[in-house]
Amino acid sequence: MSERFYVEGGKRLQGEIEVSGAKNAALKFVAAALLAPGKTVLQQVPRIKDMHTMLALLDELGVRTNFSGATLEVDASTVDSYTAPYELVRQMRASLVVLGPLVARFGEAEVSAPGGCNLGLRKFNFHVDGLRALGADVELDHGFIKASAPAGLRAAEVNFEYPSVGATENVMMAAVLAEGVTIIENAAREPEISALAGFLNSMGARIMGAGTGRVVIEGVQELYPTEWTVMPDRIEAGTFLMATAATGGDVTVTNALPEHLKMELEKLREMGVDVNAAPGSPGIRVRVDDPASLSGVDVATLPFPGFATDLQAQMMVLLTQASGAGIITENVYENRLQVAEELNRLDAGIDLFGGHRALIRGPRRLSGTIVQAPDLRGGAALVMAGMVSDGTTVVDGATHILRGYEDFEEKLTALGATVAFEAEAPVRR
């Protein structure tokens, strides 16, 4: 299936839009539901391609699910397989997080080496080393990660060389049923980590310190189904905020928490964007009269609370519309800057240095053409670039965008953008 977005430039975004539940939290909650027999109910679940991939994976494991509106029921009473197949895991790296819950509850798990966006090495050795520290026997066999702990997991101190979000989540989910007290040092601090800990604690887990670099997990004998509401998607919120600034618009993004976007909002203010966001308020308003009145800034991506790598491509587009120069340094994923090559097809004039640094000079008058979405966030940034380009921009490879944004076309259209989605079956010869 060939999927693409058609974008007409020259429209200011105006109005109010509500962001969906967070992709990067909801997927982990679904995986964590494997830890307890019975029906777990999740509210505000985004209807995105990655979620449907995760549900297909659970179906392979024998889990019963019911997805109605934004409510998802996961009944993990009937798990009869511990193998996550290649054809599903290759579509989404987040599939790897079923490893911890499966080996914790059943003492056995087999997960294909992960796929998803081509963002570089993103080694999964942190996941493997963490589970081994908890006493699991883990081996790599013909492209599969096989873990077993027939006598159960045991508590340990897990020291991460790097604060990996996925590995922190996997070890947390495994350690909740391990005997004793597990300590994770140099744990990831992202809001999704805190949300997962809250979700697990509502199931009967005992987790302290989530959201800090030191997480303490006191193992329990069993967990129970729960009901939980997915936190707002901070990356979707940031995408709309930056798109608004780039088009010289005025938009209020509701169901968005300013404390989840501290560094990003600070950079927007530094550029000259009018940002109205009170701590604890579930909404953020941004207003820009003329994007050329904004000033270029330097941005370096870092784990939370630093500037999110998932918002770097969108910031790159915004910088093309601001006056002066800005440098983006990518410190998380080595392939994340590949979107710059596609932006240059729109005449962005971005210079790359060493594969991890980009120099953007603005304001640039972008010109619409055909571009290819390199990954999820890069694809969203290219749609955003189309909105500030002359003429029509065609963003091919839209399947990347559908993986993480719910109703992307409809939400942008509601704000005044001219965006159309097209899916075309391949021609048989």
Query: Tell me: the pLDDT tens digits for 74-126?
Result: 999 999 999 888 888 877 777 788 999 999 999 999 988 765 444 333 467 88
Domain covering 23-229, topology: UDP-n-acetylglucosamine1-carboxyvinyl-transferase; Chain (3.65.10)
Which conformational region is residue 15 in: left (phi greater than 0), alpha (psi within -120 to 50 degrees), or beta? left
d(C-alpha 382, C-alpha 243), whole Å: 11
The DSSP bridge partners found for residue 157 are: 183
Q: Poorest-confidence range of 178-182, 237-241, 274-278, 304-308?
A: 274-278
Q: Band of the pLDDT at 368, cuts 50, 70, 90?
A: very high
Nearest to 30 by CA among 14, 15, 46: 46
Provide CATH 3.65.10.10 ranges for the chain: 2-20+232-424, 23-229
Q: What is the mean pLDDT of residues 351-362?
A: 92
- Tell me: pLDDT of 256 over 80: yes
Mean pLDDT of all residues in the chain? Answer: 93
d(C-alpha 149, C-alpha 152), whole Å: 5
Q: What is the mean pLDDT of residues 391-418?
A: 96
- Find the DSSP H helices in 97-202: 99-106, 125-133, 165-175, 191-202
Which residues are catalytic, by number? 117
Nearest to 283 by CA among 256, 261, 265: 256
Give the three-state DSSP class for 266.
helix
Query: pTM of the prediction?
Result: 0.94
The domain covering 2-20+232-424 belongs, at the CATH homologous superfamily level, to Enolpyruvate transferase domain (3.65.10.10)
pLDDT at 424: 74
Q: What is the mean pLDDT of residues 161-174?
A: 95
Percent of the chain, pLDDT > 70?
96
In the β-sheet with 299-300, what is the strand arrangement from edge to edge? 299-300, 324-329, 357-362, 351-353
pLDDT at 409: 96
pLDDT at 285: 96
- Find the DSSP H helices in 176-311: 191-202, 234-246, 262-271
pLDDT at 427: 53
Buried b (16+ CB within 10 A) or exposed e, 166-203: bbbbbbbbbbbbbbeebbbebbbbbbbbbbbbebbbeb
Q: Band of the pLDDT at 337, cuts 50, 70, 90?
A: confident
